[in-house]
Structure 1
Amino acid sequence: MVKAFAMPDSAPFLRRENRLDNVLSEMGRALQVLSGAVVAARPNPAGKPVAAAPELSPAEQKHAAGLMRVNHVGEICAQALYRGQAIFCGDAQIKQLFGRAAAEELDHLAWCQDRLRELNSRPSYLNPLWYAGSFTLGVAASCAHRSKNLGFMAETESQVEQHLDRHLKELPSRDERSRRIVEQMRRDEIGHRAKAEEQGGHALPGPVRLAMRGMAKLMTVTAYRV
């Protein structure tokens, strides 16, 4: 009688507890990322601030801050995307891939955050919106086939790589600190894309890629100013 009573009640309870734990974990991670309470595991590629570094003009500083704010938003989105892509992914190997990439993206987030402070600027006011939207996209991708989930990662990183290439051209020539950060970010993003393709990521349909570019453009234009 004890067995017949305990088993039907305990199993569903455990499943509900696990789901609740997952929800609380994701909420905690979102708050950590959005509050700026993140610490890089790797040293900042820009090194420590140097007093003798060339000063930027007010216009250069404002432009550099706008670009680094866009990059910061990109890292907010990356955290949300990878968390969302892993949530319904049943492949342990692919979950590990997302986890490793997310850890490197967390470094990028902290570096961009540090540089914004150095430039006497701030993150985007719309970061909660970017996080929520990216997490939703990640969850949708996680429900797809493994090749599509990885393909979404590969396409995202490919577009980010192109975006960082443009920033390296647009950053003020004297802003070596921002440039070093962006260069390391670019190297990491190339590695993420290559890993996703090696693991079987397939190219996404043209309309999906165009939609992703349109959303990225909207985010870039808005984050530069807001």
Structure 2
Amino acid sequence: MTSQRHYSFLDKLCLGVDQAIRALTNHPRTSGKPYPASDVDEYPLSDVQRRQSAALMRINHAGEICAQALYHGQGIISHSDAVQTKMQQAAIEEGDHLDWCGQRLEELGSHTSYLNPLWYAGSFCIGMIAGMIGDKWSLGFVAETERQVIRHLEGHLHLLPVQDQRSYTILEQMERDEAKHRDEAVAAGAEELPDFIKRMMALTSKVMVKTAYWV
């Protein structure tokens, strides 16, 4: 009979470093879900259209870096084994999105945000703080983050060039997955965040979006 291993805080930090390196080098843990655009035709894009698509996918890639860090930070500090497991699974599923966005950026001949380490560090700290406050608040951050991500994705679906059906298909699948994560967090007992925290999150997101669009 084998006993389940209990990780110390130091063990979790070491695992966190590994997760950070994987995310920032575009080798995250994934669920293995297939690339949504694999069967979608690539239509010719003008230079302007290609730059627009690349900028939007770079923003979404940076957003997924933030999601990875948020879940990793919460997973390390969470009070509950069940919530910790949920955060780890969510990070793996978000790893699919990170991988898809990175792959699409390669297809578009562009790069990920040069400030990804900064986005990761900031979101990781927010995740740890949320985890320290309590699991219901931690889940509340997840639910609100997913709500705001869904709004961004809906906007990007309208901003993409019509010809870029590969990016469109990826973002559609991401939107469905984010809605699932939001609903799961709410069902698990997420606390509704105060309005001022929601506004701070939205403001931080706007800074990331404006910056990642270019760099």
TM-score using structure 1 length? 0.88
The one of 20, 32, 37 equivalent to 1:46 is: 37
The one of 46, 50, 55 equivalent to 2:44 is: 55
Give the count of matched residue pairs: 209
Partner of 2:55: 66
The answer to whether the 8 Å contact 1:39/1:110 transfers is no
Q: Distance in 1 between matches of 2:137 and 2:80?
A: 13
Q: Distance in 2 between matches of 1:19 and 1:159?
A: 31
Q: Distance in 1 between matches of 2:76 and 2:45?
A: 43
The answer to whether the 8 Å contact 2:40/2:165 transfers is no
Q: Secondary structure at the match of 1:121?
A: coil
| Sequence identity percentage | 44
Partner of 1:35: 25
Per-residue CA deviations over 1:187-207 (Å, capped at 9, x if unaligned) read 000000001111111210010
Q: Which has the larger radius of gyration?
A: 1
Deviation of residue 21 (structure 1)?
A: 2.4
Per-residue CA deviations over 1:106-127 (Å, capped at 9, x if unaligned) read 0000000000000000000000
How do 1:29-178 residues align onto structure 2 when only pairs under 5 Å count? Answer: 29-38=19-28, 40=30, 41-48=32-39, 50=41, 53-178=42-167
Q: Secondary structure at the match of 2:133?
A: coil
RMSD: 1.6
Deviation of residue 88 (structure 1)?
A: 1.4
Q: Secondary structure at the match of 1:124?
A: coil
Structure 1 unmatched runs, 5+: 1-14
Per-residue CA deviations over 1:87-111 (Å, capped at 9, x if unaligned) read 1112122112212211110000000
Per-residue CA deviations over 1:141-166 (Å, capped at 9, x if unaligned) read 00112221111110000000000000
Please say if 1:18 is aligned against 2:8.
yes
- The more displaced of 90-99 and 109-118 is 90-99
Match of 1:213, as an amino acid? A
Structure 2 unmatched runs, 5+: 1-5
Runs ≥4 in structure 1, deviation > 4 angstroms?
Answer: none
Q: Distance in 2 between matches of 1:38 and 1:200?
A: 28
- The more displaced of 98-107 and 166-175 is 98-107
Match of 2:122, as an amino acid? G
TM-score using structure 2 length? 0.93
Deviation of residue 213 (structure 1)?
A: 0.2
Query: Cα 1:210–1:182, aligned 2, differ >3 Å: closer, same or farther?
Result: same
Match of 1:29, as an amino acid? Q
Q: Distance in 2 between matches of 1:99 and 1:38?
A: 12
The one of 199, 207, 220 equivalent to 2:188 is: 199
Q: Secondary structure at the match of 1:174?
A: coil
Deviation of residue 60 (structure 1)?
A: 0.3
- The more displaced of 30-39 and 123-132 is 30-39
Q: Distance in 2 between matches of 1:186 and 1:155?
A: 14
Q: Distance in 1 between matches of 2:137 and 2:160?
A: 34
Q: Distance in 1 between matches of 2:50 and 2:194?
A: 39
Q: Secondary structure at the match of 2:8?
A: helix
